[in-house]
Structures are given as structure tokens and as C-alpha cells.
Amino acid sequence: MAYIDLSYMKFVYNSIDLPLEEVYDYIVVGGGTAGCPIAATLSANYSVLLLEKGSVPSAYPSVLRQDGVISTLTLEDDGKTPAERFTSEDGVANVRGRVLGGSSMINIGIEWDMDLVSKAYQWVENTVVSPPNVSRWQSVVKEGLLEAGVRPDNGYNLNHIPGSKVTGTLFDNQGRRHGAVELLNLGNPKNLRVAVHATVERIIFSSNAPRRSHQAFIRGKGEVILSAGAIGSTQLLLLSGVGPESYLSSIKIPVVHPEPYIGQFMRDNPRNYITILPPFQLDASTPQIAGITSDFYIETFSGLPFSTPPFSVFPDPSFSTKINSTFRQIAYKVPGPLSYGSLRLQSSYDVKVGPNVRFNYFANPLDLARCVSATRKIGDLLSTNSLKPFKAQDLPGIDGFNFFGPPLPMNLTDTASLETFCRDTVATFWHYHGGCLVGKVVDGDLRVKGINALRVVDGSTFKFSPGTNPQATLMMLGRYIGVKMLKERLVCKACYSCNIIQHFNRDDLYPK
């Protein structure tokens, strides 16, 4: 990719500049990782309004640069900044994207999980993926992983397969980010309208509802698509009266459609990590390699300069001092996970008040056992010849490293101390998902069960976080469902009964 293609800017508007009332074929709520590709795809044949509560990425230049990753995550959250902070009830600091392009614009940019839906992946990959210029540190860790038995060497590979590999990345060789926002460039400019600073408050299921300052409607066989992310879509459904009946009634939200599983099965992959300070300066890098086994995935990043403690990157309060640019973090993730929690509203009327989320990290013993097994593998990795030069002192095994923050337990045979390490150092990989699970809340085509013309297309539908990292699958999903919807409309053209059903099920959406 030679440059960042900003052609989408010609159909991006500030929400206050849009007419007070408009009608579209499709309204997509949330211009994120899945929302951008689905909006672009549907615009091929139909009018589409994409509503994003955040700003355009260029409003925050650090968003568009690889060396801006940490500074974006550490920007003080003023209610508008691209990384919206929240802390789960587990006490783990976290962030979610609040910018056109969603979390794909603030993330670390790693992983491309090519799969059966290869055409949709290809569409995405051609626009935003690059092979990385692998840094020295990343190569060292990959060699170390191979020495430690995470084999085979899968070279540069976009598949999620066991072994060690170099991954694709959103950052090109000039350090520029290419996120989901660029998929909008593939839309039809005549049909696609994107509104930023457009916070959707709720979906109204009746054309007789009280008027709002801005309102948008869908027509005919159109649909509303929620792509506001695991937390945003789940919150919006509850605020709109779709959710567990007794819960909604208890907080005085009129029940439009009872659905017991909304807000249930919220999951987040635990991130555990060690950070070392080698005795010399080395290049900075975002993750470019991955070690994959059935029990855990290992990644690393390094030396990103910062002057304040990076929120949610190093949640440990002891990281309050300024450190130089030499740190190396080796992080590992439990796949799945099996442990889950739930989401509950903090405010029953104000969408701007984030919900309470609990993930119950390691509640399931298998998640903990996998973390223990990964921690042992980190011990093997640190004991390899590849990692030796990074020791502060020439000592055997895992001894001799200068740990920054919690050190790896010295006795790797003591399962209890490894379990304590897992629990005590748990952070987030930011791959939280669930809340509107497929099979429970939405059907296989991601339609909300029992409601016509409403779908949820984002990470809230996932039972497991897919791939080594989820964003490729989310972009693919937006494209895939969009193409399927276009095909459905072609089939439906001749179908009289279908027209009647749609006629009696118009959804109205009232963005502020």
C-alpha cells in the first residue's frame, strides 16, 4: 500500500450537518471493524447511512501511525478521544475504539486468519494488509519460540495454524495504519453516507414514537444493522427494550422484545505477560510474530517510547515511572476463553454512560490450566540461546533477566505459584466479545431472533474470539454478511410474501 487512501472523506459528514430527517435502505450503527465493510458492501445497490459516534481518524494523527499506537492508548479520555476507556468489574483496565474504523484504528494491528470465506478475506486483505518488515527483536522471539518447541516454522503465514510464524499487519512499511475505515473507499459514493459524531441513543420500533432532534428511517425491505461492538451493540439493544424481561422491567425500560440472553456470555481473553529490560537499546516494534499452540498464543512487542504509564498496556500501578525505550513485553493469550460474565447497564437512559461489564477471568479451571501451561512455555522461551543476549547477568535458565514489573516465578514446577501469577498479572488482550451470541440472540444470518429487519454484525455475536486475533474475521464478517444480504434481495425481488412481511415490519432509528 503506497499511501493512506482518504477518498472516503468525500461522503463523511458531521452529524449536525445532516438533514433532520432522512430515509435509507440500510442504517448501520457503528462505523467500526465490521460496520465499515458491511456499509460499503450494501452501498453497491442500496442507500446506506453509517452512524459513528467517534470522529474521523485524521482528527488524531497518532491513530494513523504505527509509532502512535501507545500515545493513542494513553490519550486522556475526554469523551471524544479515539480510545474509550473502561474498567471491567474484574478490575482490569480496558479500551474500545471510538473513531471511524472502530477498534481496528487503535489496535496493535496483528493477524490475518484466512479461511473458507476466502473471497471476503481477499477483499479485505487487498485493501488493508501488509507483510511486516520484521524487527530484530521479533525475529529473536520467533527463533526462541522454535527452540522452545513451538513448531513448525510457518514462515510468513496468514493462517491460524500451530507453530511459529510471521503475521500480516495493518501497518505498511512506512509505519502507516490501514484499518477498516479504508474499506469504505470500496463503497459506492453515490449511495453511502457516513455521519461522524453521531451517537445512536436507541432503536425505536414504532413510527409513532416521540420525535428526536435527528431521525433516520429505513424503507421497504431495508434493515438496521448494529455494528457497535460487543459492548456498544449489547448496550443499545438493552436501552432499546430488547433483553431479559425481568431485568429490563426492574430498571424501568419498557420491554419491546423479551430476549433472555442479551448481555450474557461476555468473554475476554486474558493477557498475561512478562516485561524485561535488556542491557542495551533495541528497535521498537508492534507484534509481527506469533507462537500458536492449542492452549495459548504468544506475541511480543517492544520499546514503544512513552512518557506516561500506558493505560491498559501496563495496568500495574508500579509502572508509574518514566522508562526508556528498551522494554520488551512477551504476552500470552488463552484461546476461547471458556470463562464468561455479563453486561448490565449503568444508566437506563443515557447511552453515553458506559455499561458495567464483568468477564470473570479464569473462573473456568481450563482457562487457568492453559495460562499455567503458557507461563511454563515462557520459562522455556527465556531459557533459550536466542534470548540469552537479553539477560542483564549471565546466569543459567530464566535467571539473569531484569524484569520490569512482576517477574516470572522462578520455580516453574510449582503449579500453585504459576496460578497465582496468572491471576495477579491478568490484563486484557482487548479481544472481548459476546453479549449477543449467535444461536442464542441472533440466528445464523445474524438476524435478531423474533425481530424482522434488525441484525447484529460484530464481535458481540462471537462465542469464541476467532483466529489468533479477531479483527480479520470481523472485517471478513462485515463483507460476507453484506454480500449475503445483497444476494437475498436479488432472490426476494420476485417473492410476494416476503414483500408483505417486510411491509409490516418497518424499523425506525432515531440517532441524536
Ligand X SMILES: Cc1cc2nc3c(=O)[nH]c(=O)nc-3n(C[C@H](O)[C@H](O)[C@H](O)COP(=O)(O)OP(=O)(O)OC[C@H]3O[C@@H](n4cnc5c(N)ncnc54)[C@H](O)[C@@H]3O)c2cc1C
CB neighbours of 194 closer than 8 A, spacing ≥ 6?
A: 8, 11, 12, 13, 31, 39, 49, 50, 52, 100, 184
Segment lying near ligand X (by CB under 6 A), choices 217-225, 252-260, 326-334, 463-471 = 463-471
What residues from 265 to 324 belong to the interface with ligand X (CB under 6 A)? none
Residue 38 interacts with ligand X (CB under 6 A): yes or no: no
Residue 330 interacts with ligand X (CB under 6 A): yes or no: no
Q: How many residues touch ligand X (CB under 6 A)?
A: 44
Closest to ligand X by CB, 327 vs 462, is 462
CB neighbours of 2 closer than 8 A, spacing ≥ 6?
A: none
Closest to ligand X by CB, 108 vs 371, is 108
One of 28, 92, 106, 196 touching ligand X (CB under 6 A):
106
CB neighbours of 444 closer than 8 A, spacing ≥ 6?
A: 438
Which helix (H) or strand (E) covers residue 369, if one does?
Answer: helix 365-382
Residue with CB nearest ligand X? 32
Residue 482 interacts with ligand X (CB under 6 A): yes or no: no
Closest to ligand X by CB, 408 vs 454, is 454
Give me 480's grid cell: 460476507
Closest to ligand X by CB, 102 vs 482, is 102
One of 243, 335, 470, 482 touching ligand X (CB under 6 A):
470
Task: Report which residue type is found at 385.
Answer: N
Q: Report in angstroms how near the CB of residue 219 gets to ligand X at its nearest.
A: 21
Q: What x/- string results for residues 146 through 185 when contact with ligand X is judged by CB under 6 A? A: ----------------------------------------
| CA 418 – CA 373 distance, rounded (Å) | 9
Q: Are 418 and 376 in contact (CB under 8 A)?
A: yes
Neighbours of 217 (CB within 10 A): 19
| CA 469 – CA 142 distance, rounded (Å) | 17
Closest to ligand X by CB, 331 vs 368, is 331
| CA 132 – CA 471 distance, rounded (Å) | 17
Give me 45's grid cell: 445497490
| CA 292 – CA 145 distance, rounded (Å) | 10
Residue 458 interacts with ligand X (CB under 6 A): yes or no: yes
One of 27, 95, 150, 357 touching ligand X (CB under 6 A):
95
Q: What x/- string results for residues 334 through 373 when contact with ligand X is judged by CB under 6 A? A: -----------------x----------------------
Distances (CA, A) of 13 to 26, 52, 99, 101, 478: 17, 10, 14, 15, 22
One of 128, 195, 200, 248 touching ligand X (CB under 6 A):
200
Residue 32 interacts with ligand X (CB under 6 A): yes or no: yes
Q: What x/- string results for residues 47 through 66 when contact with ligand X is judged by CB under 6 A? A: ----xxxx------------
One of 133, 188, 199, 505 touching ligand X (CB under 6 A):
199
Task: Give the DSSP letter string of 126-195.
Answer: HHH-B-----HHHHHHHHHHHHTT---EEEE--S--SEEEEPPBSB-TTSBB--GGGGGGGS-TTTEEEE
Segment lying near ligand X (by CB under 6 A), choices 60-68, 332-340, 465-473, 483-491 = 465-473
CB neighbours of 396 closer than 8 A, spacing ≥ 6?
A: none
Segment lying near ligand X (by CB under 6 A), choices 181-189, 212-220, 364-372, 469-477 = 469-477
Give me 142's grid cell: 520467533
One of 55, 66, 138, 227 touching ligand X (CB under 6 A):
227
One of 27, 28, 92, 228 touching ligand X (CB under 6 A):
228
Peptide bond into 19 cis (omega under 30): no
One of 88, 103, 272, 342 touching ligand X (CB under 6 A):
103
Report, in angstroms and rounded to the nearest whole number, the Rg of the chain calculated over CA atoms.
23
One of 12, 27, 29, 204 touching ligand X (CB under 6 A):
29
Neighbours of 501 (CB within 10 A): 13
Segment lying near ligand X (by CB under 6 A), choices 1-9, 109-117, 141-149, 203-211 = 109-117
One of 15, 25, 28, 33 touching ligand X (CB under 6 A):
33
Nearest Cα to 60, choosing from 108, 101, 116, 32?
101
Closest to ligand X by CB, 422 vs 427, is 427
Closest to ligand X by CB, 132 vs 222, is 132
| CA 221 – CA 501 distance, rounded (Å) | 9
Residue 474 interacts with ligand X (CB under 6 A): yes or no: yes
Closest to ligand X by CB, 123 vs 390, is 123
Q: What angle do CA 169, 175, 180 make, to 5 degrees?
A: 50
One of 157, 285, 425, 471 touching ligand X (CB under 6 A):
471
Q: Are 146 and 139 in contact (CB under 8 A)?
A: no
CB neighbours of 429 closer than 8 A, spacing ≥ 6?
A: 268, 269, 270, 271, 331, 333, 469
Closest to ligand X by CB, 62 vs 103, is 103
Q: Report in angstroms how near the CB of residue 467 gets to ligand X at its nearest.
A: 7
One of 111, 223, 380, 507 touching ligand X (CB under 6 A):
111
* Phi/psi at 392 (5° precision): -80, -30
- Residue ranges binding ligand X (CB under 6 A): 29-35, 51-54, 73, 95-99, 102-104, 106-111, 198-200, 227-230, 232, 236, 351, 430-431, 458-459, 469-471, 474
